Amino acid sequence: MKIAFVGKGGSGKTTLSSLFVRHLAAGGAPVIAVDADINQHLGAALGLDEADAAALPAMGNRLPLIKDYLRGSNPRIASAETMIKTTPPGEGSRLLRVSEDNPVYDACARPVELDGGAVRLMVTGPFTDADLGVACYHSKTGAVELCLNHLVDGRDEYVVVDMTAGSDSFASGMFTRFDITFLVAEPTRKGVSVYRQYKEYARDFGVELRVVGNKVQGRDDLDFLRAEVGDDLLVTVGHSDWVRAMEKGRPPRFDTLEDANRRALDLLRATADSAYERRDWERYTRQMVHFHLKNAQSWGTSGRGPTWLRRSTPASSSARA
C-alpha cells in the first residue's frame, strides 16, 4: 500500500515517517521508502551518515531512464521525450512491483540495513546549482509520480513517501496516489494551518487523511488538537529519548523504543492496512487520467512542453501519452 507523510516544515514528519519505516521493516514487511522532500533528511533519519546520504542517486537526475523503462512497448509513447510526469500506464507499459529487481531500482534505489530487516530507499534529489532560478521542484518529484502511477503494490507491501513540506504536493496529482495520508501536526496554530489547507484541497478527491499529533506534552496540547482537527486526530506522540538519541546519530536498537510510541506505530499500520482494503480502483484510475489530461493540456497550450505536445494538444483535446 502507498502511504504519505505530510506536514509543516519542522513538524517532525520525516522523523515519524522514518520511525514508521523502521517499524514495518522490524515486522518483516517489504518496504520502499521515498524521500520526496526538497530538504533531503530521510536517509539520515534511517541511520545513514552524511556522506552516504549525500551519495544517494537522485531520481530526478535519472528521469529519462525511468521513462524509457516504464513506457516499455506502449505504442502511444514513441520515446521517453514524449512521456510527461503524469503519464499513466497503458498497453505495453512496464509496471513496478515492490519486491522485484528492475533497472529503475538498480539505478535509483539503495538498500538500507535496519534492525530486523532492510528497506529500499529512493530520493528525488535536492536542487543543484543548475536548477537554481530556472527549475521548479516538481520537475524533480515527477519521477516519483511516474513510479507511483506504474507501481503494483500488495496489501502486505508498503511504499512510504516523506512528502515535501506544507501543501506543495497539490501542485500535481500525486496527493491522490496514496491509500492514506498521515498529516503530522504540532499543537500550535501554525501546526494545524497545513491541516486546514490539506483538508480543503483534498475534500473533492476522496483523500483519506488522518492527523498524527507530534510534540504533545500534556492534556492542554491534546485538547487543542482535538478542538482543531476533530475526528481526524488519530494518535499523538510525545517526547522520545529514543528519537533524541537517533537525532544525535546514536540510535539505540529499535526494540527499545518507548511502549507508547510503539503502540502509536501499531495504530498507524493498522489504519493503513484498513485503508488499503477500501481502495477504490475506479476512482484511483479516474483521478490518474484526470490529472494527466489536465497536465498535458497545460503543457500543450502554454508552450512549455515538448514540440510534439504543443502541436497535438489544442485547448479542447488531450495528449497522446
- 191-217 mean pLDDT: 91
Quote the pLDDT of residue 121.
Answer: 98
Beta bridge partners of 214: 237
Residue 105 main-chain phi, psi, to 5 deg = -65, -35
Rounded to whole angstroms, the Cα distance separating 13 from 234 reads 15
- 80-101 mean pLDDT: 92
Rounded to whole angstroms, the Cα distance separating 300 from 176 reads 23
Q: At 177, is the secondary structure helix, strand, or coil?
A: coil
Buried b (16+ CB within 10 A) or exposed e, 281-299: eeeeeebbeebbbebbbeb
Rounded to whole angstroms, the Cα distance separating 187 from 189 reads 7
Which pLDDT band, with edges at 50, 70 and 90, does 127 fall under? low
Q: Which of 304, 311, 317, 296 minimizes the C-alpha distance to 86?
A: 296
What does DSSP assign to residue 87? P
Quote the pLDDT of residue 138.
Answer: 53
CB contact at 8 A, 66 and 59: yes
Residue type, 126: P
Question: Within a 10 A sphere around the Cβ of 85, how many other Cβ atoms?
Answer: 24
| Mean pLDDT of all residues belonging to the chain | 86
Quote the pLDDT of residue 287.
Answer: 87
Burial of 60 (0-12, 13-18, 19+ CB in 10 A): buried
**Which of 48-52, 70-74, 164-168, 221-225 has the least mean pLDDT?**
164-168
Strands 117-123 and 109-114: antiparallel
Percent with pLDDT over 70 in the chain: 86
For residue 88, pLDDT beyond 70: yes
- 16-41 mean pLDDT: 94
- 267-273 mean pLDDT: 97
C-alpha cell at 41: 533528511
Which pLDDT band, with edges at 50, 70 and 90, does 86 fall under? confident
The residue that leads in pLDDT, 306 or 21, is: 21
Quote the pLDDT of residue 123.
Answer: 96
For residue 300, pLDDT beyond 70: no
- 207-233 mean pLDDT: 95
